[in-house]
């Protein structure tokens, strides 16, 4: 038997991957994953020459410049020299964890937060501290309490459209976190893949307000272009960037240059704004239809309309949604139980519902299947 690294004891399967695999191989309606609508996925033209050879670990300079300009347009000044293309923004999370987390390192996250970030942070042995968060982010007092209990080495946050809530942080929450990170020297890791899924207005990236604290900001081409090209990016403060480049070299030398060429062509495309407006309109319509179906099919659910992203975060008071998943899968519908999004495994009566992947008819049928399951469970008590 091979001897594994100690961290492998902490390696957990991803429930969402298992649900997606089960849903793909059957007629299960999946409201579980975060898949873009098929209508938004256009096959790109094959880029001409220039991408076939090995490239730089940081990524190709024309694309780094284009990403720097994109961030500038969002309100974050970061030179192209401190932009790195990554293999999905998931890789940026992995590199951040490798850089900052040892066994027992204190890492603060919102509760709820992005489940695949939790998976990586746990693998590296993070001592996870959760800060309750809602549609307007955490209450400033909750942020203060978290730091008063011992400053985390890293704070992972989604201030501009969270997965799963779809909320945008209030000014108060933003100011509170920036002040605390600056005072304690806590690294602010800001994850921002969803901003282009809705028209906005969107606040400027939060890391731009820091005066002293180190930071990493990450974005993605998955939600606004094509998830299959597996391309994201990070921008980082001066002290962190060179170390992240070395970690990237060890991970995969560099991200696909073909994918980088596709992303560059898109950023330079004069029709990009029109394409994004169409994508945002499709998601706006899907959300309206989903909200209507949710009101009708699950009137007992508590939820608030998201400002963008791909999910509705809903509560079924008093119902254990982890226990509900199995009968629902048997009835042909999948969702993500809230517990998966909770650093300490709370939020047991919440669920994350995707509204982008299925057409409105199918989503409604999915919600109706959940309702029928709830009715059957009630009548069998």
Ligand X SMILES: Cc1ncc(COP(=O)(O)O)c(C=O)c1O
Residues that bind ligand X (CB under 6 A): 34, 88-90, 114, 158, 163, 191, 193, 220, 222, 227, 232
Q: Least distance in Å: CB of 36 to ligand X?
A: 10
Determine the Cα–Cα distance for residues 67 and 72; give it in Å rounded to an integer: 8
Q: Least distance in Å: CB of 202 to ligand X?
A: 15
Residues 252 and 70 sit within 8 Å (Cβ to Cβ): no
Query: Nearest-CB residue to ligand X?
Result: 88
Q: Least distance in Å: CB of 378 to ligand X?
A: 33
What is the CA angle 41-305-336, rounded to 5?
A: 65
Q: Least distance in Å: CB of 5 to ligand X?
A: 24
Q: Considering the complex, state which of residue 83 and residue 374 has its C-beta at the smaller distance from ligand X.
A: 83
DSSP string, 79-136: -GGGEEEESHHHHHHHHHHHHH--TT-EEEEEES--HHHHHHHHHTT-EEEEEEEETT
Q: Considering the complex, state which of residue 163 and residue 259 has its C-beta at the smaller distance from ligand X.
A: 163
Helix (H, G, I), strand (E, B) or coil at 308: coil
Q: What is the H or E stretch that residue 68 is in?
A: helix 61-74
Q: Least distance in Å: CB of 221 to ligand X?
A: 7
Determine the Cα–Cα distance for residues 245 and 85; give it in Å rounded to an integer: 10
Q: Least distance in Å: CB of 116 to ligand X?
A: 6
Q: Considering the complex, state which of residue 34 and residue 364 has its C-beta at the smaller distance from ligand X.
A: 34
Q: Considering the complex, state which of residue 194 and residue 319 has its C-beta at the smaller distance from ligand X.
A: 194
Q: Least distance in Å: CB of 212 to ligand X?
A: 26
Q: Considering the complex, state which of residue 34 and residue 319 has its C-beta at the smaller distance from ligand X.
A: 34
DSSP string, 268-307: H-TTHHHHHHHHHHHHHHHHHHHHHHHHHH-TT-EE---S
Give me the sign of the Cα torsion angle 32, 34, 38, 40.
positive
Q: Considering the complex, state which of residue 221 and residue 241 has its C-beta at the smaller distance from ligand X.
A: 221
Q: Considering the complex, state which of residue 32 and residue 374 has its C-beta at the smaller distance from ligand X.
A: 32
DSSP state, residue 345: S
């Amino acid at each position: 038997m091979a001897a594994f690294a100690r961290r492998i004891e902490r390696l957990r399967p991803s429930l969402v991957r298992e649900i997606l695999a089960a849903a793909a191989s059957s007629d299960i309606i999946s409201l579980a994953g975060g898949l873009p609508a098929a209508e938004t996925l256009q096959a790109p033209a094959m880029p001409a020459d220039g991408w076939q050879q090995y490239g730089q670990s940081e990524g190709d300079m024309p694309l780094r410049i284009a990403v720097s300009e994109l961030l500038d347009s969002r309100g974050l000044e970061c030179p192209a020299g401190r932009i790195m293309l990554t293999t999905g923004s998931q890789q940026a999370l992995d590199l951040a964890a490798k850089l900052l987390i040892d066994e027992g390192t204190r890492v603060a996250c919102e509760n709820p937060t992005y489940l695949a970030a939790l998976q990586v942070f746990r693998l590296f042995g993070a001592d996870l501290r959760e800060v309750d968060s809602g549609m307007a982010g955490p209450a400033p007092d909750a942020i203060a309490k978290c730091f008063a209990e011992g400053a985390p080495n890293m704070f992972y946050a989604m201030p501009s459209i969270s997965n799963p809530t779809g909320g945008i942080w209030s000014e108060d929450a933003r100011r509170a976190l920036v002040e605390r990170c600056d005072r304690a020297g806590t690294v602010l890791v800001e994850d921002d893949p969803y901003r282009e899924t809705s028209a906005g207005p969107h606040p400027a990236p939060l890391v731009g307000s820091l005066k002293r604290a180190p930071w990493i900001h990450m974005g993605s081409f998955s939600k606004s272009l094509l998830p299959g090209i597996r391309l994201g990016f990070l921008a980082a403060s001066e002290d962190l960037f060179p170390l992240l480049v070395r970690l990237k070299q060890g991970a995969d030398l560099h991200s696909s240059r073909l994918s980088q060429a596709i992303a560059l062509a898109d950023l330079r495309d004069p029709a990009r704004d029109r394409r994004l407006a169409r994508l945002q309109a499709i998601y706006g319509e899907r959300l309206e239809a989903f909200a209507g179906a949710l009101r009708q099919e699950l009137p007992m659910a508590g939820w608030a309309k998201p400002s963008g992203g791909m999910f509705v975060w809903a509560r079924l008071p008093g119902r254990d949604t982890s226990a509900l998943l199995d009968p629902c899968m048997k009835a042909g519908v999948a969702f993500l139980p809230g517990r998966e999004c909770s650093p300490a495994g709370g939020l047991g009566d919440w669920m994350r519902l995707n509204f982008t992947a299925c057409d409105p008819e199918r989503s409604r049928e999915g919600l109706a299947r959940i309702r029928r399951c709830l009715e059957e469970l009630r009548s069998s008590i």
